[in-house]
Chain A
Amino acid sequence: MSSETSGGSLRGFYIVFAVVAVVGLGAVGYNVGSSAFSKTAMEPVDLAGAVEDMRVLRDMAVPVTLGEQDAPVTIIVFGDYYCNHCGAFSLRERPRVVENYVNTGKARLVFYDFVLDPRPEAGTFLAARAARCAGDQGRFWDYHDRLYRSQLTWGMESDKVSVFQEYGAELGLDTGDFNACLKSDRHAQEVSANRELAHALGLGGTPMVMVGTGRGMSRRLDNYYFETIQAAVDEILGDTATNQ
């Protein structure tokens, strides 16, 4: 045996090997373990007194908006991801609203999550967070619609985290970021505050559509159909034109 490749101490090798093994196992184990035990926010979080103070609650409630900030009309929608009428609004009526009013700069769409069933097993709170995690990558509305298209599918699944991860991958999201967001408590406060805001406004169900100018009170509509929204928006646009 040549001296250049032989002559090491087996005991010394085992010591170095053990040190590397312990460090490596610790690093990989810590990373996987901390991810596995990280708290995935599955239900509304405590808002620490904000519920009693409407102004604080309004600041904490963060909607997702579509359209120009200075549009003359604001269409506010409170929706729940497991509500089938919300699905009907999002998939059938909203595209018409967007085409006719949002894309033309006449109105701005403002969406608030209103989680009706806050139980973790219902998955609607997690669904709302998932859509916002997708929103972090600029894909809120795509994910929002994906959830509505498959309400019954994910609603029946016991492992909703995995299903929502699959939707993220399917939409081509950065799955690392998306999954990390989903398995954390990111956006839990906004979604919880939005729900409390709906309660504070006395909303009884979803989808609730309100139309206004964005200043002062908004008018609650009787239903979510495009024609109803159209009439309310046109009325405000007509008033705005008359006053100018």
Chain B
Amino acid sequence: MTSYSPPRNRMAVALLSLVGLFIALYMLAYALGLTGDVMCGIGDCERVQNSPYSRIGPVPVAGFGVVGYLALLVATFLGIQPGFQNSRWIPVTLLVGCSLGLVFTGYLTYLEAFVIHAWCQWCVASAIIMVLAFLASLPEVRRIGENR
């Protein structure tokens, strides 16, 4: 009997998504007025979070983060189950999700650096998480070919 070994990169994306989800939840709670001061040891989180760019329409940007991280979390959680080892949509979902997340977080980082001229440590942490998740999702390119 051989023991099942789940893909490490998917476990890594799952853990990164979980941490990202909590950061996004914290930022969303702040945007909705459910917390007081935002904890911010580095940078000027209040300025970033209160800028006009902190919302897309009526929705706080953090809300998109919560949905995105949650989607990645569900996909990776399924992806580490034995029954989904050869699924074709898991690699596609992870690659597309991480790529979209990378583009979105890149846009937000651009806004911090060149438009708002202030940094929020939580946004930077989320951006680093997204870059790492994207890198961890790259082995999925090979799986798409393998699972054809």
Contacts and interface: CB of A to CB of B under 8 A. Distances in A.
A23 to B, nearest CB: 8
Interface in B14-33: 14-15, 18-19, 21-22, 25-26, 29-30, 33
Taking each of A10, A17, A28, A174, which has the highest tally of chain B beta carbons within 10 Å of its own beta carbon? A28
Interface residues of B, number: 31
Interface in A142-176: 165, 174-176
A36 interface: yes
A183 interface: yes
Nearest to A180: B36
Given A2-B139, A32-B29, A36-B34, A21 B5 contact: no
Interface residues of A, number: 32
A100 interface: no
A231 interface: no
Contacts of B33: 165, 175, 179
B6 interface: yes
Q: Which DSSP category, helix, strand, loop or mixed, fits chain A's interface? A: helix
A23 B39 CA distance: 16
B50 A35 contact: no
B126 interface: no
Contact of A17 (B4, B15, B30, B49): B15
B90 interface: no
A176 B37 CA distance: 5
Contacts of B26: 27-28, 31
B9 interface: yes
A10 B6 contact: yes
A16 B12 CA distance: 11
Given A5-B8, A6-B8, A28 B37 contact: no
Given A24-B19, A28-B25, A38-B36, A174 B46 contact: yes
A28 B29 contact: yes
Contacts of A174: 46, 50
Interface string B69-109: 00000000000100001000000000000000000000000
Nearest 7 A-B pairs (CB), nearest first?
Answer: A180-B36, A24-B22, A7-B5, A5-B139, A8-B8, A176-B46, A5-B9
Interface of B: 4-9, 11, 14-15, 18-19, 21-22, 25-26, 29-30, 33-39, 46, 49-50, 80, 85, 139, 142
